[in-house]
């Protein structure tokens, strides 16, 4: 995660590395969730970088599967609400492009 802080952007390769490690080491998923939230939201807010957006979707999938995180009630649902709003914005843009 230091690379994201240093580069000030979300990069798909480190995210995929994190996804790979978390896929094998399920016990780390909960401990990585809080520090990763900001980077996931950053990538979801900027879907133009499709590689990072897709990599963060893979990471989100792991967090959704981890029942100990209580993703939907975690932080009173703020993370989920933000994520859903960003996805809704992406869908709106896609629909606009379909009708142009």
How many angstroms separate the CA atoms of 19 and 17, rounded? 5
How many angstroms separate the CA atoms of 72 and 77, rounded? 6
> Mean pLDDT per 10-residue run, the chain (100 residues)?
76 90 92 92 89 93 90 89 93 81
The model's pTM: 0.84
Residue 67 pLDDT: 86
Residue 100 pLDDT: 66
Residue 57 pLDDT: 93
Q: Is the dihedral of CA 22, 23, 24, 29 positive or negative?
A: positive
- Cβ-based neighbour number of residue 49 at 10 Å: 16
What are the tokens at 53?
């957006």
What are the tokens at 12?
């798909």
Residue 61 pLDDT: 93
């Amino acid at each position: 995660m230091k690379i994201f802080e240093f580069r000030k952007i979300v990069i798909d390769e480190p995210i995929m590395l994190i996804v790979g490690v978390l896929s094998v080491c399920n016990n780390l998923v909960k401990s990585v969730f809080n520090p990763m939230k900001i980077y996931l939201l950053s990538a979801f807010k900027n879907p133009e970088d499709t590689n990072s957006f897709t990599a963060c979707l893979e990471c989100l999938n792991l967090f959704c599967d981890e029942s100990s995180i209580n993703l939907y009630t975690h932080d009173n649902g703020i993370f989920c609400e933000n994520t859903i709003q960003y996805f809704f914005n992406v869908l709106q843009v896609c629909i606009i492009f379909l009708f142009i």
